[in-house]
Structure 1
């Protein structure tokens, strides 16, 4: 299958989309990188949390911006064990935060690590589902 066919089949549903979850309450489809289509999370691994607000840095920053630009996001795939990811990179801790990136294309952040609970949060808006 070509990359363009994969991209056409991938979607970015909203957190209220019932097709996101399977019968066990986990992700019903694979979560893939929006830029290179690498698998980030296999199906039936992550839980959906749609009420946790977090300001995640923008993927593309303006060079003239005086500080790190962020956007408020609230819908997340939560992965409790970092070893359940397929292709995720972890940044070094910076100002008390660790961010998640695609390990293949290194685009990110696509999410963050809660250093207190060690839970990993991947933004629904920064990935695709197929």
Structure 2
């Protein structure tokens, strides 16, 4: 039999969270004077389509897991969605979204979940009896903070609230 011992420090490295880098660089959208304009970049001059120029992170202090690499999500302003259906108080790292039908800013991720680095989902939730589609809320796959956004069950569009993710 061969000796299969691990190199020094390998076990500790495997047990650390995957995002154990410098968490002090997590910035929230509210930290930027120009809001979404400060975190966006145009990659297509003809269409004026904006994407995020920073990696999107879990906003929880002490987590900071990379959710989406820079440039993957497309900025969209559209109707807000009621994400906070729980009776529990909202986590301090998750700002309240405007009530529908007001609009808010989203990062739209398509065509499938493979675009994400680290995302989790809740069980399907039916918002009301007349809603045709059930929603799944997007959460941090590492610490379960959420909801950070939403998608329709079985859909291929994933919506992250610009104000509910961190930027680095």
Spell out, residue by residue over 1:63-87, the C-alpha distance to the aligned partner (whole angstroms, 9 max, x if none): xxxxxxx743611101012110111
CA distance in 2 between partners of 1:11 and 1:3 (Å): 12
Gaps of 5+ in 2: 1-20, 45-49, 90-95, 127-133
Larger radius of gyration: 2
Spell out, residue by residue over 1:45-69, the C-alpha distance to the aligned partner (whole angstroms, 9 max, x if none): 010011232121178824xxxxxxx
RMSD of aligned residue pairs (Cα, Å):
2.4
The answer for the alignment partner of 1:38 in structure 2 is 65
Contact 1:101 1:108 in 2 (8 A): yes
The answer for the alignment partner of 1:108 in structure 2 is 146
The answer for the alignment partner of 1:21 in structure 2 is 41
Gaps of 5+ in 1: 63-69
TM-score by length of structure 2 reads: 0.62
Residues 1-130 of structure 1: pairs in structure 2 closer than 5 A: 2-4=22-24, 6-7=25-26, 10-12=27-29, 13=32, 14-15=35-36, 17-24=37-44, 25-35=50-60, 36-57=63-84, 61-62=88-89, 71-72=97-98, 74-80=104-110, 81-95=112-126, 96-115=134-153, 117-130=155-168
CA distance in 1 between partners of 2:104 and 2:152 (Å): 14
CA distance in 2 between partners of 1:119 and 1:44 (Å): 16
CA distance in 1 between partners of 2:81 and 2:105 (Å): 9
Aligned length: 119
Residue 18 of structure 1: CA displacement? 4.7
Contact 2:97 2:104 in 1 (8 A): no
CA distance in 2 between partners of 1:105 and 1:60 (Å): 20
Distance change (3 Å), C-alpha of 1:59 and 1:103:
farther
TM-score by length of structure 1 reads: 0.78
Contact 2:149 2:161 in 1 (8 A): yes
The answer for the alignment partner of 1:67 in structure 2 is none
The answer for the alignment partner of 1:65 in structure 2 is none
